[in-house]
Structure 1
Amino acid sequence: MKKYVGHISLFCASFIWGVNAPLTKNTVAAFDAVGSMNNAVDPLTHSLMRWGGAMVFFWILSFFTPREKVRKKDWPKIFWAAMFAVVCNQSGAVFGLLNASPVNISLISSMAPILTMILAAFVLHEPLTGKKIFGVSLGALGAVILVFAGRAGSAASGSMFGDFMGFIAMLSFVLYLTLFSDIIERYSPVTLMKWLFTFSFIVGLPVCLPFAVEINYGSLTVSFWWQMLFVVFGATFLAYFLMPVGQKVLRPTVVSMYNYVQPIVATLLALMMGMEQFNVLKLFATLLIFVGVYFVIKSKSRAEVLQEHGLE
């Protein structure tokens, strides 16, 4: 039952992040363009608003949940987990979305399960089974087909800096999944995320505040604030609350496979808004992703392999 709850939580978090991508794109502008716009802020202000908002929401929620004491030796791990899972991941993602082409960002994101599988094999000694490799490869192929099917005929413009920041965002999250599994399992989602976002806000404040105070908040439109509410409450607080629920009971490679839900959500939104046309290729790509996820879920874990060989 716990695994089903974990799968549902990760699917919901990935769905929210899929919706979040176009909203983030709408609410962020280049530093030199912010002054002339009333519906966007610069990337650093945007990041600070996410971290500060999520920090407040998690602290409020913590008053209504059982208090957990954090072990002294875990504080450095929690700090570095915050740097990878929040600071590097979210700031890298927002700079990537602003400066790179959607095609490149989507393709870079599709590398996450492959890197997670490789790192999990070295760090956590998770077995590289044929079923797992096949599932990850199938999902990656489906994601690539879906990306190119949705961008056919469109020009892929963007900078190398944007691609690099997108890669940093992806890599930092992969490292978080594989290097910090012990504290993810040890603490509740509320306790863990409360401190992750607190550390992120404290670290980000000296860098982001000089830009944040320059924003004319009174000129920002109602539409901007509604979109930012979703970004902060939905894509930051709610999604990051759901994510560790799945991480506690599922292997890192399985968790990363839900990354492939995001291009599906983006395609569905584009279809609903009349920006894209449905075709057999998109259906085929979506099926590849779901079949790939299924194979990874069904692949054997390290514990199962050890049990088979009578080593556990």
Structure 2
Amino acid sequence: MNKTAKVHLALFTVNLIYATNYVVASKIMKDAYITPFAIILLRVCGASLLFWFFQAFTFNERVQKTSDYLRFAYCALFGVVINQLLFFKGLSMTVPIDASIILTSSPILVLLASVIILKEKVTWLKLLGIILGAIGAVMLIGGGDFSFKGENTWGNLLVLLNASSYSVYLVVVKPLMRRYQAFTVVKWVFLFGCIGVLPFGWSEVQQVQWSTMPGWVYLILGFIVVGVTFLAYLLNAWALRFVSSTLVAFYIYLQPVLTSIIAVLSSQDELTFKKVLFSLLIFTGIFLVSYSGAQEAKKRKKPEEV
């Protein structure tokens, strides 16, 4: 398997994990087994331990410049602290379909951040791909059912701020990915992230009734720590070494496609012409954004970027 295929497989895996997370994370919070900030503290600190543990048995890469520690902290603020606190809190105050629709704004936000921060050039192919993907994703999710009115308003607003924060992270972490291995970046980002979320989650963790918690809740927490955090952040960080931040964010449009496929396979939904059409729009968008990135890389004489 060539590098391009591996990158796309990694991004596909990440978004399959995220698609599953919408349902399982929402369930344990709705059932009041554990509060949002408690989940975040367990998630960030648990994943941080895994990053440092596994790198200790692989390689130890030194940080080249003192100023890079500040950039790690900066990335942690947007990619871990603000991002995760707002997402889980917002998800507990809204419904998964609203959160999914709001997060389709991420590629557009990433593109804007890339233009402002990294002075990235916007091509017509990339812009067309994002528009097609956004239309396909919103229609596939069911955009007509979305509203900022009612009891979900504050939750939807927090999810929107979460999407904005993560978009900034995907852009500002890119320079670090050019200098360091993915493990090195995420282990430092999550170490600073632990410090940031500790004041918010410590009291809520102490209030959890661990002895009365069902076994399936522990399994979901394990999935959130190992899959949604450790594996997903590592794969995203690795992919950022070879592709643009915009393409990494664009893959979020696959989440409603994967959710629909899972629903059809489990006989909870049926395959329709509209769903196939909207899915094709998303895949067309992925191709256009990826192709645009490859053409830009050739012009810069960096064949490793796809």
Same-fold call, TM cutoff 0.5: yes
Identity %: 28
In the TM superposition, residue 119 of structure 1 has moved relative to its aligned partner by: 2.3
Hey, what's the Cα distance between the residues in 1 that align with 2:300 and 2:3?
A: 22
Where in structure 2 are there 5+ consecutive unaligned residues?
302-306
Cα deviation, 1:69-109, whole Å, max 9, x if unaligned, reads: 11211001100101111111112111121112333212211
Looking at structure 1, the residues matched to 233 and 133 of structure 2 have their Cα atoms a distance apart, in angstroms, of 23
Structure 2 residue 276 is the aligned partner of structure 1 residue 283: yes
Cα distance, 1:10 vs structure 2: 1.3
Identify the residue that residue 125 of structure 2 maps to in structure 1: 131
What is the CA–CA distance in structure 1 between the aligned matches of 2:300 and 2:238, rounded to whole Å?
25
CA contact (8 A) 2:22 2:96 kept: no
Are 1:26 and 2:27 an aligned pair? yes
Which residue, out of 48, 68, 92, partners 2:86?
A: 92
> 2:177 aligned with 1:176, yes or no?
no
Structure 2 equivalent of residue 299 of structure 1: 292
Q: CA deviation at 1:113?
A: 0.9
Partners of 1:157 and 1:232 lie apart in 2 by 32
Structure 1 residue runs of 4 or more that deviate by more than 6 Å after TM superposition:
none
1:187 corresponding residue in structure 2: 180
Q: Which moved more, 1:96-105 or 1:288-297?
A: 96-105
Tell me if structure 1 keeps the 8 A contact 2:104–2:138.
yes
Name the CA shift for 1:60/1:306 in 2 (closer, same or farther; >3 Å): closer
Q: CA deviation at 1:60?
A: 1.0
What is residue 238 of structure 2 aligned with on the other side?
245
User: Against the structure 1 CA distance between its residues 223 and 67, is the aligned structure 2 distance closer, same or farther, given a 3 Å change threshold?
Assistant: same
> Could you tell me which residue of structure 1 aligns to residue 18 of structure 2?
17
Q: What letter is aligned with 2:273?
A: V
Question: Retained in 2: the 8 A contact 1:44–1:211?
Answer: yes
Change over 3 Å in CA distance of 1:158–1:10 after alignment to 2: farther
**2:9 matched residue in structure 1:** 8
The letter for the 2-side match of 1:85 is: G
The structural deviation recorded for 1:207 is 2.2
Find the aligned partners of 2:202 and 2:119 in 1 and give their Cα distance. Answer: 42
Counterpart of 1:310 in structure 2 is: none
Cα deviation for residue 157 of structure 1 reads 6.2
Distance in 1, Cα, partners of 2:249 & 2:159: 16
**What does 1:100-249 align with in structure 2 at a 5 Å threshold?**
100-148=94-142, 158-249=151-242
Q: Secondary structure at the match of 1:99?
A: coil
| Cα distance in structure 1, aligned partners of 2:131 and 2:151 | 26
Counterpart of 1:63 in structure 2 is 56
Residue 274 of structure 1 aligns to a residue whose secondary structure is coil
Amino acid at match of 1:282: K
Unaligned runs of 5+ in 1: 35-39, 308-312
The Cα of 1:124 is off from its aligned counterpart by 2.1
Paired with 2:200 and 2:106, the residues of 1 have a C-alpha distance of 28
The Cα shift of 1:296 comes to 0.7
> What TM-score, normalized by structure 2, do the two folds share?
0.90
Specify whether residues 5 and 198 from structure 1 end up closer, same or farther in structure 2 by C-alpha distance, changes over 3 A only: same
What count of residue pairs does the alignment treat as equivalent? Answer: 297
The answer to whether the Cα contact below 8 Å between 1:81 and 1:176 also exists between their aligned partners in 2 is yes
Matched, 1:46 2:25: no
- Contact 1:89 1:173 survives alignment (8 Å): yes
Contact 1:10 1:258 in 2 (8 A): yes
SS of the residue aligned with 2:270? Answer: coil
| Secondary structure in 2 matching 1:206 | helix
Question: For structure 1, which segment, 158-167 or 130-139, has the greater mean C-alpha deviation from structure 2 after superposition?
Answer: 158-167
Distance 1:121 1:304 in 2: 19
TM-score normalised to structure 1 length: 0.89
